[in-house]
Amino acid sequence: MRVEIREARAFLVLADELHFGRTAARLHMAQSVLSRLIQRLEEQLVVQLFERSTRSVTLTPAGEALVQPARELVTMSERVSEIVRRASAGETGRVRLGFAGASVGHLVAELMTGSRRERPGLTVELESSQLSRPGLERLQDGSLDLVVGRWDFLPREIESRVIAQEELLVALPSAHRLARHPQISPQQLVDEAWVVLPGGSGATLSHRLHLLGRHGRFVPRIVHTAPDSATELLLVEAGEGIALTLSGVRDSLPSRGIAFRPLTTDLGAVAVRLAFRAGTADPAVRAVIEVAALVFGGGERHNAASAAQPASHSSTRSRSASSSGGA
């Protein structure tokens, strides 16, 4: 036995009006249709809900007992409809956002603040330590919905929105012979030992270090692969080597004993991107992407592998360019 929502709603209005004509008018249906609804409900419950006479309609004890359960059923139905509507509109839902760590903390905080303001019903779950390669892999396998990071190349099934621009820098120990130079040319780096972050899958810093070597006619001699930017700077400060890094890392992480110097050769600005699966239909994910456009000024959007190529950085930086991804 199952009470349908339409039957429960008709029963409640009749219990309130105790008049078939007025009830039919409120429900915008014919009185004969209302009578059949109530009759079918009574047959399903095998009980009489109303005493009917030519002059009056009254609730039976069974009818009185049904009022509260019927009201709860209708209320729950209305709540379910509202929940589904809000989820379909991207007003509620869960979004899993990956990011590298402290170097993009400023951007992530801005995005979270914007999401809470624009879509307070959304739940954004954060997962840190997602460098470029693992973050992209988790985006592709569906275990993350969005990733903040930096990639010079993205597969065609991944779209991205640029949310900040950063400058490439060389990090050296303060006592290094090149630290006294205001800028460093690629040719000056020929014999240096390098500390790097994990590369692969279009990781920006790996690609730009390769370009730097081409400009200086050298193959980078890599002595350490650090798990994150903080460890990379620690190794640089200890004199283990130098590193190619970004303005966001400089601005976001402690760097005592380290000198940051720009390059004389323009290798292009580094874009910090909000990446997501192309054509995603999840309303919650799409809502966060829309929030990112509001928060970061509607940054350039790409949906092809070649669209994530390095661009000239000159003096162009977004207001959020003091943060970066991890690889």
Structure tokens at 178: 């090149």
pLDDT at 323 over 70: no
DSSP labels, 233-271? HHHHHTTS-BEEEEHHHHHHS--TTEEEE-BSS---BEE
Distance between CA atoms of residues 176 and 174, nearest Å: 6
**Cα 316 from chain centre:** 25
Q: Average pLDDT, stretch 287-308?
A: 71
Q: What is the pLDDT of residue 202?
A: 63
Greater confidence, 178 or 203?
178
Residue 308: φ, ψ to 5°: -95, 25
pLDDT at 1: 61
Q: What is the pLDDT of residues 214-273, one digit of tens each?
A: 999 999 999 999 988 999 999 999 999 999 999 999 998 888 899 999 999 999 899 999
pLDDT in tens, 66-87: 999 999 998 888 887 777 776 7
| Cα distance between residue 42 and residue 245, in whole Å | 75
Mean pLDDT for all residues in the chain: 87
pLDDT of residue 321: 34
pTM value is 0.69
* Whether the Cβ atoms of residue 205 and residue 197 lie closer than 8 Å to each other: yes
pLDDT digits (tens, 9 = 90+) for 253-270: 888 899 999 999 999 899
What's the mean pLDDT in 163-176?
Answer: 96
> Which residues, at least 6 apart from 238, have a Cβ–Cβ distance to it below 8 Å?
173
In angstroms, the CA 77 to CA 138 distance is 37
Q: What is the pLDDT of residue 37?
A: 93
Cα separation, 47 vs 41, in Å, equals 9
Residue at token pair 């992407």: 289
Q: Where are the beta strands (DSSP E) in 104-175?
A: 122-127, 146-149, 158-166, 168-173
User: For residues 42 and 31, what is the distance between their CA atoms, to the nearest angstrom?
Assistant: 17
Which residue segments constitute the domains of the chain, with CATH numbers given? 5-88 (1.10.10.10), 94-327 (3.40.190.290)
Q: What's CA 289's distance to the chain center, in Å?
A: 7
Q: Span 102-115, mean pLDDT?
A: 92
Q: Tell me, what's the pLDDT at 192?
A: 97
Q: Is pLDDT above 50 for 98?
A: yes
Can you tell me the distance from the alpha carbon of 133 to that of 152, in angstroms, rounded to the nearest whole number? 12
Q: What is the pLDDT of residue 50?
A: 94
Q: What is the pLDDT of residues 20-40, one digit of tens each?
A: 999 999 999 999 999 999 999
